[in-house]
Amino acid sequence: MKLYHGTKLKGKNKKRLIDFPKARKALNGVGFYLTNDIKVAEYYGDVIEYEVGPEWECALVRPINVNMVGGCAMEYVLSQQEADALVLDHALSITIH
Reported as a single tens digit per residue, the pLDDT across 36-78 is 999 999 988 999 999 999 888 888 898 887 665 566 788 999 9
Say what the pLDDT of residue 63 is. 85
Q: What percent of the chain has pLDDT over 90?
A: 44
Summarize the confidence of residues 9-34 as an average pLDDT.
Answer: 84
Map out the domains of the chain as residue ranges: 2-96
Q: What end-to-end distance do the CA atoms of the chain give, in Å? A: 16
Q: Angle at CA 29, nearest 5°, toward 13 and 32?
A: 35
Alpha-carbon distance of 80 to 30, in angstroms, equals 9
pTM score: 0.85
